[in-house]
Structure 1
Amino acid sequence: MTDDGDAWALPDDLEAVRERLIEWYEDDHREFPWRRTDDPYAILVSEVMSQQTQLGRVVEAWSSFLERWPTAAALAAADRADVVGFWTDHSLGYNNRAKYLHEAAAQVESEYDGTFPETPAELQELMGVGPYTANAVASFAFDAGDAVVDTNVKRVCYRAFSIPDDDAAFETAANELMPEGRSRVWNNAIMELGGVACGQTPRCDEAGCPWREWCDAYASGDFTAPDVPTQPSFQGSRRQFRGRVIGTLREYDELEIDTLGHRIRVDYAPDGEYGREWLEGMLADLADDGLVDVETRDGETVARLRR
C-alpha cells in the first residue's frame, strides 16, 4: 500500500515469475566482463564508471583501468592526478568520481586490511559509495544484497505489475520479487530485462520477454512508464569543461586564469558570459572536490592540479 492509498499486488505464482526470468537471463544475455567476476574491487570500478557512461564505452575503459591498477592496493598507491587524468582521457563523467574511487581504495587498504566489506551498510562507509552502488557491489560480489532499484527496474515493475510511480512502492515490490539469497543473478536478470526487452521502446516479442503472460502492459497495449531523467548531452556541458580544465592543467602544470580559459574554449572572453566569473566558479567547484588548487599571485588568479 502506498502513501496515497493505492493498493497493488504481485502475481500469486511468484516462484514461476522468478524462475522464468532467471531462465531467460541465463539462456542468453549481454556479455559484460564485470559479469564474469566476483572481485568486489573490479565490480566497484564498473559501477562507478557506469554511472554516467554508456556501457559499451565502459568496457574498454574498465579493462584499461584494471590493467593499470589491478587491485585496490595498486589504486591506493597510485598518484591521484594519474587516476583523475585517466578519468578525463576516457570521458567518464565528473572527475570527483575518480577521486572518490581512489580514496575508497585507500580506505580498503588502511581501514579494512585490504579486505572489502561485504554488506551494503558496510560498503556505504567507503568514500563516494552511496546506497545503490553499495547494494550493487554486495549483490554482484558477495551475493548478499537487496534488490537493485534503478530506472530499468522501475520501468519493468510499473509496466508488468502496475506498481505505482512511488519510490517506496518500487523498493518494496523489487524486494518481494527477488528470491531470497539470489541477489547476484536476480539483479543482473531484472536489469537485463529492463535494458533489453522493456526499454523505453519495448521489444516484448522480439526479445522473448519471459513475463508476457503476467504483464499488465502487454495485455493492455499501454506501455507508458514513469518519466525518467535523460543523461544531458556531454558536448558543451559543464562536465566536458571540467574535464578540459583537468586535462589542460595536467599538460601545463599551472596556468593563469585567462590563459587557461582560452585553452579550454574558443569563445572564452574574460568579461563575457563564459569568462572569468564562469571559470572561477568551475575552479572553485574543482577545488572543493580536491582536484585543483587556486591562488592569487601578483594580482592574478593561478590554477594548478592538486597532487
Structure 2
Amino acid sequence: MSDQSGEYLPNDVQSVQNALVDWYEADHRDYPWRRTEDPYGILVSEVMSQQTQLDRVVAAWEDFLERWPAVADLAAADRGDVVGFWTDHSLGYNNRAKYLHEAARQVTDEFGGEWPRDPDGLSELMGVGPYTANAVASFAFNNGNAVVDTNVKRVLYRAFDVPDDDAAFEETAQRLMPAGESEVWNNAIMELGGVACEKTPDCDGAQCPWREWCHAYQTGDFTAPDVPTQPEFEGSRRQMRGRVISVLNEYDELALDELGPRIRVDYAPDGEHGREWLRGLLSDLEADGLVTLTDGAETTVATLSRT
C-alpha cells in the first residue's frame, strides 16, 4: 500500500473512527442478519441483497432460513426447489440461487462442513466474488478487509475528497478501517452510506458523525461518482435559512456564537462560515420579517419573530 492513501484523511484518524463506530452502535437499522455470526445466514443475505432492497430482503431471508435452516439443509435440497423459491420471492437472476445451492454443497462435501474464514478461501465458493467473500469474512469471522462498494466510494469521495480512482478508494478505505475491527467497521460505513450519505444526503437529519471533517458538508458540493449533478437544496442558502428558523423556533433567541454551531458543524467565529457569514444570513431573514437582530455591547442576539 502506498503512503498516498493517507493524504486524504484528517491527521486525527482515530477521532474519525471513533465517531463513526459510536454513531453506528448508538442506533442503526436492525436487520436480522446483523444479529448473527453464522456464515451461512450472512452469505444468504449478501446474495439476496445483490439485486433487492434490504427492506424487501428481510422476509425472504427469514423464509429461506426457515425452510433450509443450515448449510447442510440447503446442500441436500432439490435445486429446482431453491430456484423456485428465488422466483417466487422476486429475488432477481435465478443463477444466484443455483450458485448459492452449489456453494452450500461445496461447504458440506469439499470442506467437511467447515467454512473458509478469510476472503481468499471464501472466494473459492461458487458465485462468491471478492466483495461477497470479504463481506462474509468480515461479518461472520471479523476477518475481512475494508469493504469498498458504491456507497463507500460515495462516502469517501464526499467526506475526504478522495479522487474517483479505484486504487485510491481501496487504499484509503483500508487505512481508515481500525485493525481487527472489520465486522463493526464495514457495517458502520455501509450504514453511513445507506442512511446519511445517500445520493441525496441527509447530513443533519441522520446526524452524520463526519460532518466536522466532511469536505462536501463544508463546501455544499454533494456530487459523487454516482451522483453527477449536485442536489440543488443541499448546502444552499435556502437550506441554511431553514436551519436558522428551526433552531430559533426551539431556543427562541441565541447569540451568534451559540447559534452558529447549530447551523453548521464547521462554524468558526472568524472562519469562512463564521460571524460575518451568519450575520449576512440573518440580515436576509430580518429583511423578510422572520428574525430580529439586537446588537449588544459584546454580541448580537438573534430572535425569532413571532408576529
**TM-score after normalising by structure 1:** 0.72
Q: 1:224 to 1:16 in 2, by over 3 A?
A: same
Cα displacement (A) at 1:115: 1.1
| Aligned equivalents of 2:84, 2:220: Cα separation in 1 | 48
**Alpha-carbon contact 2:196-2:203 (below 8 Å) kept:** yes
Q: Sequence identity of aligned pairs in percent?
A: 73
- Alignment of 1:16 with 2:8, yes or no, is no
**Match of 1:182?**
181
**Match of 1:219?**
218
| Aligned equivalents of 1:64, 1:102: Cα separation in 2 | 16
**Match of 1:144?**
143
**Alpha-carbon contact 2:6-2:172 (below 8 Å) kept:** no
**Match of 1:94?**
93
- Alignment of 1:49 with 2:39, yes or no, is no
| Aligned equivalents of 1:91, 1:170: Cα separation in 2 | 33
The gaps in structure 1 that reach 5 residues or longer are 230-307
Listed one character per residue, the Cα deviations across residues 209-233 of structure 1 (whole Å, up to 9, x for unaligned) are 000010000010100010279xxxx
**Alpha-carbon contact 1:49-1:58 (below 8 Å) kept:** yes
Query: Max radius of gyration: which structure?
Result: 2
**Match of 2:25?**
26
**Match of 2:111?**
112
Q: Tell me the matched-pair count.
A: 227
- Alignment of 1:121 with 2:133, yes or no, is no
- Alignment of 1:78 with 2:70, yes or no, is no
Report the secondary structure of 1:87's partner residue. Answer: helix
| Aligned equivalents of 1:137, 1:113: Cα separation in 2 | 18
**Alpha-carbon contact 1:193-1:209 (below 8 Å) kept:** yes
Listed one character per residue, the Cα deviations across residues 188-220 of structure 1 (whole Å, up to 9, x for unaligned) are 000000000000011111110000010000010
**Alpha-carbon contact 2:134-2:147 (below 8 Å) kept:** yes
Report the secondary structure of 2:45's partner residue. Answer: helix
Q: 1:216 to 1:46 in 2, by over 3 A?
A: same
| Aligned equivalents of 1:107, 1:50: Cα separation in 2 | 22
**Match of 2:204?**
205
**Match of 1:68?**
67
| Aligned equivalents of 1:227, 1:49: Cα separation in 2 | 22
**Alpha-carbon contact 2:152-2:190 (below 8 Å) kept:** yes
| Aligned equivalents of 1:153, 1:76: Cα separation in 2 | 33
| Aligned equivalents of 1:12, 1:51: Cα separation in 2 | 35
Report the secondary structure of 2:8's partner residue. Answer: coil
**Alpha-carbon contact 2:123-2:130 (below 8 Å) kept:** yes
| Aligned equivalents of 2:5, 2:66: Cα separation in 1 | 51
Cα displacement (A) at 1:6: 11
Listed one character per residue, the Cα deviations across residues 231-273 of structure 1 (whole Å, up to 9, x for unaligned) are xxxxxxxxxxxxxxxxxxxxxxxxxxxxxxxxxxxxxxxxxxx
Cα displacement (A) at 1:9: 2.0
**Alpha-carbon contact 1:8-1:162 (below 8 Å) kept:** no
**Alpha-carbon contact 2:199-2:227 (below 8 Å) kept:** no
Report the secondary structure of 1:11's partner residue. Answer: coil
Question: Aligned runs of 1:144-293 on 2, under 5 Å?
Answer: 144-227=143-226
Q: CA RMSD in A?
A: 1.8
**TM-score after normalising by structure 2:** 0.72
| Aligned equivalents of 1:12, 1:123: Cα separation in 2 | 35
Cα displacement (A) at 1:154: 0.4
Q: Flag the structure with more relative contact order, 1 or 2, with Cα contacts below 8 A and sequence separation at least 6.
A: 1
**Match of 1:245?**
none
Report the secondary structure of 1:227's partner residue. Answer: coil
| Aligned equivalents of 1:227, 1:220: Cα separation in 2 | 18
**Match of 1:302?**
none
Query: One-letter code of the match for 2:169?
Result: F
**Alpha-carbon contact 2:32-2:58 (below 8 Å) kept:** yes
Query: One-letter code of the match for 1:99?
Result: K
**Match of 1:296?**
none
| Aligned equivalents of 1:113, 1:194: Cα separation in 2 | 37
**Alpha-carbon contact 1:147-1:183 (below 8 Å) kept:** yes
| Aligned equivalents of 1:88, 1:37: Cα separation in 2 | 26
Q: 1:83 to 1:6 in 2, by over 3 A?
A: closer
Report the secondary structure of 1:74's partner residue. Answer: helix
